Amino acid sequence: MSSPAVRVRFAPSPTGFLHVGGLRTALYNYLFARRTNGVFILRIEDTDRARYVEGAVENLVSTLRWAGIDFDEGPGKDGGVGPYVQSERLEIYRKHAESLFASGNAYYCFCTSVRLEEMRKQQDALRLPPKYDRHCAKLTPDEVSALIAAGTPRVLRLRVPVGATIRFHDVIRDDVEFSSDAIDDQVLIKSDGYPTYHLANVVDDHLMKVTHVIRGEEWLSSTPKHILLYGYFGWEKPVFAHLPLLLNPDRSKLSKRQGDVAVEEYRAKQYLREALVNFVALLGWNPGDDREIFQMEELIKEFSLERVGKSGAIFNQTKLGWLNEQHLRSKSDRELLGMLQCELAGSPFKEKTFPDAYLLSVITVMRERVSFMRDFVEKGAYFFEAPASYEEEMVRKRWTSESAGQMEHLVREFSLLTVPGPAEFESALHRSAQSLGVGNGVLIHGVRLAVSGVSGGPGIYEILAILGKDETITRIRAAISRLAPTAR
């Protein structure tokens, strides 16, 4: 008998932005589905109405698609087991909750919030773990009926067996077991009629034919409750795989307090989706060798749950930055050309036009010096506009009382060039240095300051060739005029 086709799901709550931990969960599910020719489902778990954020669903879908993660079934893509939004499935949960009550595997609890709070205080005073004391589990059927008839607010709780050991196998953590005595009688249906995560999650996973549940380690302690529910319903449980925690460098759990955690924040900072996906994929999984650079197609080919580790994964921002550099620099000239044109359209130079050939020349000399697309414009601003100011420290160090005369000599030498490239500019500068009796470096520093306004950047001869003879001379003369008063 063949195994059922792989069906996995990503089930976020629409409570705001997509956390990078959520992106990793979605990515691992997506990679596993694609690797096995399975189905990737997006399910929206919106039963916690107090935390619901308007527009969050649309943002989740948009962010996943930006990352290259598209779902096969979900909102707007019916696969025959929808709806895929939990708030649209309340009647389904109600019927299953009633069956649990009828079978005696769940019971109604009528305790007020005041009583529950007092119970918690007593447990704290005795240093007991917080757990419902089963006060309402002792009610007789007649008492329960009377309370319901009176309209007393109630919740439905899972009846956890006493003295049992609950075991299951986890692909990442091997065999796991819990004592039932440490498990609370979980609320399954809240007083507002909405299900909690635990009931809705199990019912939906079964009805949507989910074969593998791949989720974060924080849900590991909830799994025994889910195992009980599968057993009470008489359903086959899925394969479980609980992913390691994401940690800050100090090994605390990744949190907003120590940096960005939302995918949208990294997107806004111009991290490439290829880099972020590559980085997130390596937070817990490894290919079994020393490779670090992956495209999505390569991740699909290589990914396996067996190579996901148990230990927490450190979220290293420096590593993410390095990956962004590698992915950016590996792009073709044509890809970068389109990206640079978009970047310029939102820059102070948006009113100017630059030929494709000119921009491609800029890309060639700047490619190995950028980490983000904005660096082309910010670090290479002098390619798009003559400098309006000059780096003060470089002026102090490099622009002497002789600099103006030296630059005048260089202008005369450059004026004699016909169609100069880097080699021609270099030869002209060497001739000027020899004639002036100074080292080449003296003129190199002076002309770099004059044409770019800064001390660093690509090779000066490449810069001059890109700017061209006329623009280079114009900028040198402007620097002679502006910097003469500050000469020593």
The residues annotated with a catalytic role in the active site are 256
What distance in Å separates the CA atoms of residue 40 and residue 73, rounded to the nearest whole number?
7
How far, rounded to the nearest angstrom, does the alpha carbon of residue 320 sit from its chain's CA centroid?
10
CB-based contacts of 2, cutoff 8 Å, min separation 6: none
CB 398 within 8 A of CB 456: no
CA 128 to chain centre: 39
Residue 72: phi and psi, rounded to 5, are: -90, -35
Distance CA 151, CA 305 (A): 49
Residue 183 has phi, psi (to 5 degrees) of -105, 130
DSSP assignment of 440-485 equals: HHHHHHHHHHHHHSSS-SS-HHHHHHHH-HHHHHHHHHHHHHHHGG
Would you tell me how many other CB atoms lie within 10 Å of the CB of residue 272?
A: 20
How is residue 308 written in tokens?
Answer: 């996901």
Q: Which amino acid is at 174?
A: D
Q: Is 263 exposed, middle or buried (0-12, 13-18, 19+ CB in 10 A)?
A: buried
